[in-house]
Structure 1
Amino acid sequence: MDRANRIICDQTGKILLQTGEATGDVLPHNKITELHYIDIPYGSIDYIKNRIVGINIETKQPILEEIPVYVSEAEKEKQELENQLLLLTNQEIGGGIL
């Protein structure tokens, strides 16, 4: 299947989004019957930890999904060794200064 390039623009004709053409095993575009927008205040979402996966149309709030953090086996081992070292150091100084 060949899918057309869908262009979404504002009232002045400024292009906001282009999907690009696609061919092969692709899904067709959904029919758009209404177009909404919301403005997310700057800094209100930590995009390193979360991604927006949708908008709740009733509340006009973003639907967030936490981005999984991959920790390699080497990083896990390093963290475990650091924790063991901290525990040994704490025992040697008699429980610390707290």
Structure 2
Amino acid sequence: MKARYLDMAGVGRALTSPVSRHAVVKWRERYPQGVDHSFPEPDVIIGAWEIDPNTGDFVDDQDERGVPGWSVERLSEIETWRAALPGRTGRPRKAD
């Protein structure tokens, strides 16, 4: 059986209140690993490995140029993360 993961667009569509792929990209940029309220780290990164031409070994290039993927089972974790975002009270209304 093949393992299935959601990319950023898939995460956005799978949420209870769907968002765009762009929104998920921005969440990852604004809440990177190591800051308060970090976006959940992906389960897999596809394509971030390179092969050393001299040895033929895989080399981790240490940047996340690949495509991140999250397990479907982690959607509830992402929903909980989203619900706790600061400033989730909506846009202030204009005074009349």
TM-score range, shorter chain: under 0.3
Q: Which has the higher helix share?
A: 2
Please give the TM-score of this superposition, normalised by the length of structure 2.
0.23
